[in-house]
Amino acid sequence: MTMEPVQGSDRAPMPGARDVGDADPQERLEVTVMLRQPADDDLKARLAALAAGDTSSGFLSREAYAQQFGADPADIAAVTAFAQAHGLVVVISHPERRTMVLSGTVAQFNAAFGVTLRRFEHPDGTYRGRTGQVHVPPELVGIIQAVLGLDNRPQAGPHFRIPPGHVNVLIPSAARLAAAPSGFTPPQVAALYNYPPGDGAGQCVGIIELGGGYRPADLTKYFSSVGVSPAPKVLAVSVDNTQNKPVGNPDSADGEVLLDIEVVGSVAPGATIAVYFAPNTDAGFTDAVLAAAHDTANKPSVISISWGGPESSWTSQAMTALDQAIQAAVVMGVTVCVASGDSGSSDGASGDNVDFPASSPHALACGGTTLVGSGTTITSESVWNEQSAGGGAGGGGVSTVFATPTWQAGLLATMTSGDAAPLAFRGVPDVCGDADPATGYQILVDGETQVFGGTSAVAPLWAGLLARINAAKGGPSGLVQPLFYANAAAMNDITAGNNGDFAATVGWDACTGLGSPDGAKVATTLSAQPGDARA
């Protein structure tokens, strides 16, 4: 049978990986298949209206979205027949998410999708992978948009940093250590950013985690220590059979999980926090965002993501699938806050790169600053950049994948050299916040209190602010970027510093975006948003 390639599915080995032979043909795995979007023109029209700042028609409920934009039953039937013909089992179908999970052996998936799965060794471990493209029979071309999970390499990394004495070392300047010797608590950072009154009651914040876990005892102790009582309600939600599983090491993914929960819970203690644990693969990441966006039980109005990787490390099909998951979220009124990365303008790769999914134009990309202040007074705020001392820097730059969104039209990216050029593609980040570990956040992880930083802290900080605002105004905010860019005075403009190749300047820049939040002004901006009720 003639097989056709799935567009954008081409895969290369990880840098430094070595092919060590065929994958075990009897190894069992689960793969996520994403189906095409029905009524695509209607969805594009809704997204275009949101991009223009028009929310007058309201956001869709999750039920209405599923009815209008869920997978076509005929497409599900066609993929089911294909799976059965190859001995694959349909574990579950999610019509509202347009996904199907198939189970089978390596040998069965090799035959079904025209791939050869191999084992690879790389400096950080081993993975099952493939090279080249995924293939489907001609009758499924156009129906199947992505096949995710054949390759189980770690797709993303957490964006947190810890000061000296730990694996991800940062050597901060003496002046900044003196300014914040023990870091801030999240409520102290919220006070510096003039957060409006409120606690997010009635809202749910979804947090995406691709590893690690939390212990309830740590949360109880932490929230008591920062004066939050009662402690927020925290729920662990399993995605693709992944559980809340603490490693017992603050330098592990546990650090990410606790940082995210404790920041959100400290600034929006009345909100429910739903933590979606998923495998660190392209399938797991996409499935987690889809699970949160379409969760009819917990109904998050904000999603916080502190994981990502350079655009060059993703396949086109995976980027499209995850971007479409974020599109679905904003059409349902969910704002998706994403950390922009901790490795400056390079994002840890060669040349200039931006981090995905922060580079999705439908995500609120959150960059990093060094914040010095006391009480409610900010003494100084500049771009976080300690790369010269072997530390991190706020991620930012210009995408090579996503077109310039309408709200960024006419903006310039200013280089450290002083040159400036119009944005040819999506600029990152949109906003920023305190991310320097030397002026970072007091966090309790695995029984140990440490100061954490990284843009991982900024995404949940913004998520908590939006939960407060949504609770106060009685509705979700969805795609906030058009309003933010039209009301840039709601931000503290950051004009000092650089993240490598990009420099801060007056107005938007590719280090700190529009700036850090003046919470009360952000609330005023979003409270004027019309049509925030769900249709």
Question: What token pair was written down for 32?
Answer: 């996520």
The catalytic residue among 96, 199, 256, 532 is: 256
Active site residue 456: yes
Write the CB contacts of 79 (distance below 8 Å, at least 6 apart in sequence).
Answer: 33, 35, 90, 100, 140, 143, 144
HSE-CB for 252 with a 13 A CA cutoff: 14
Q: What's the burial of 345, exposed, middle or buried (CB within 10 Å: 0-12/13-18/19+)?
A: buried
The catalytic residue among 260, 311, 355, 518 is: 260
> d(Cα 204, Cα 272) in Å, to the nearest integer?
5
> d(Cα 460, Cα 466) in Å, to the nearest integer?
10
Active site residue 260: yes
Question: What token pair was written down for 102?
Answer: 């198939």
Helix (H) or strand (E) holding 444: strand 441-445
The catalytic residue among 304, 456, 477, 516 is: 456
Question: What token pair was written down for 408?
Answer: 């960024």
Question: What token pair was written down for 234?
Answer: 């925290």
In angstroms, the Cα distances linking 447 to 218, 254, 319, 443, 465 are 6, 11, 37, 10, 27
Note the helical H segments in 58-204.
62-69, 73-85, 106-113, 174-179, 186-192
> d(Cα 185, Cα 195) in Å, to the nearest integer?
14
Q: Does the N-terminal peptide bond of residue 357 adopt cis geometry, omega within 30 degrees of 0?
A: yes
Helix (H) or strand (E) holding 45: helix 40-51
- What amino acid occupies position 526? L
- Cite the active site residues: 256, 260, 456
